[in-house]
Structure formats: C-alpha cells, structure tokens
Amino acid sequence: MEALSAQLDTDTMPVHVAIIMDGNGRWANDRGLPRTAGHKKGVDAVRETVEGAAEMGIQYLTLFGFSSENWKRPESEVSDLMGLLRFYLQREITTLHKKNIRFRIIGDRTKLSQDIVKLIEKGENLTQLNQGLQLTIALSYGGHADITHAAKLLAQDVASGLISPEQVTEEKLAEKLSTSDLPNPDLLIRTSGEKRISNFLLWQTAYSEFVFVDTLWPDFDKNQLAEAVGTFQKRERRFGAVGS
C-alpha cells in the first residue's frame, strides 16, 4: 500500500470516490461456501477500503451497500445481510468516530427495521461533526428513485409558488438529491468484472471516470484502491470540452 500510494500524485487525487461492491456471492461460490460467507468477508473489505481511503487523503467515499432491487433476493439472504449490517453498525461506528470519520446513510429507510434505523441515526449523530473522511453508504438505494424523489420535491415547490416552472434548473434538482451536500464522484469503481452501474448515482456520475476491476469485492484491498486511483490519474477529464 505504501509503495503504491507513494506513486500517486497528491495534486490530482480524486476528491470523491464511489464504489459498487460486487462479487461477494461469486467469491463464496468459487470456494464452495454459502453466499453469506462472501458477505461476511466483504465486510472486511469495507473496513480495509475505508482505512485506505482515509490514509490516501480521499475526502469522500460512497459505497453501494444494498440496492432497492436487492430486496428481491431470497428472504434468507436478505435477512443475513441485515444481520451483517447490524453487526457493522454496532461494532464499527465507534472506531470510525475515533478516526474522525463522518458516517451517513442514503436510501429508503422505510424498508429497514426500526432497530437498524435507530443504529443508523445513532451513528450519524455521533459522527456528524467529524472532519475526516466523509463515508456514505447507500442502503435500499436506487438512482431512479433518488431522481424521482428530487423531482417530486421540486414539483411541490412549484405548486406552492416558491419557484416558477421556468426557475427549475439542473442545479435546483441536484439540491433535492440525497447527495446534495456531497460533490459529485470523480471516480466510480466497480469490482467483479461487471461493466454497468446498476442504478447507482445515475445523476451524480454523469462525468465521473469509471474504473472496472476484475477483483471480487471480498479480495479488494488498499492496493486495489491505489491502483484504481492511479488509473484515474492517467485520464484526461474534459467534461464535454475539447482535450488538450
């Protein structure tokens, strides 16, 4: 990690990195283990990645933990995932707080059990003033739903006379998204070799750099993160303009 990080340019470090954590099930299947074993090992990868991002000076890290579509998975698997979420919230938040990391959740909390919601709120309240890495985990999250909810809020503003239809802009819609207080991701990483973004941060990643790695999520570590950042730093970001 130290050798790879030393090769990175601190002046072009991505401010915000988003990661689609994919491959837990395949990792387990490859080893003849139940899918839950992959999810448990994936929690270790989360811990490793958060530590690596903080050490590298990345300011914002957003992890896709559970999509709105994941509720369609077998009930037993969803139950196991929720159990791991409880474990993470109970065991990791204090550590995050000690490391000055701010923790937050985006997504539809109405589908989560009340005890999990209370653990989330406790963690957010405990870490809300921390100034280190800003860690966001997307749970029960979908990009379509995020944009739709933002549009509804804007429509309510128009209906109540706060703004006119002509005053609806991209900037005003972005202010209604669940990530309104975060910069858009500079870098989006997806593990497991899949090359799609699966309804994750659709609006926010319009000009993100995408890096797809073959590594399954449970095997993702600080070195893999540093390599992805190194790939990002070799890109020329033009945001629709003509390159140099």
Q: What is the tens place of the pLDDT at every residue in 126-168?
A: 999 999 999 999 999 999 999 999 999 999 999 999 999 999 9
Helix or strand holding residue 90 (H, E): helix 75-98
Which residues are designated catalytic? 22, 70
Share of the chain above pLDDT 70, in %: 95
Contacts of 72 by beta carbon, 8 Å cutoff, 6+ apart: none
- Please give the Cα distance from 116 to 129 (Å, whole number): 22
Q: How many angstroms separate the Cα of 239 from the Cα of each of 60, 154, 235, 243?
A: 20, 26, 12, 9
Question: In the predicted model, what is the mean pLDDT of the chain?
Answer: 94
> pTM of the prediction?
0.93
Place of tokens 């590298």: 56
Residues 58-96: tens digit of each pLDDT: 999 999 998 999 999 889 889 888 988 998 999 999 999
Residues 157-185: tens digit of each pLDDT: 999 999 999 999 999 999 999 999 999 99
Domains located in the chain, CATH noted: 12-143+183-233 (3.40.1180.10)
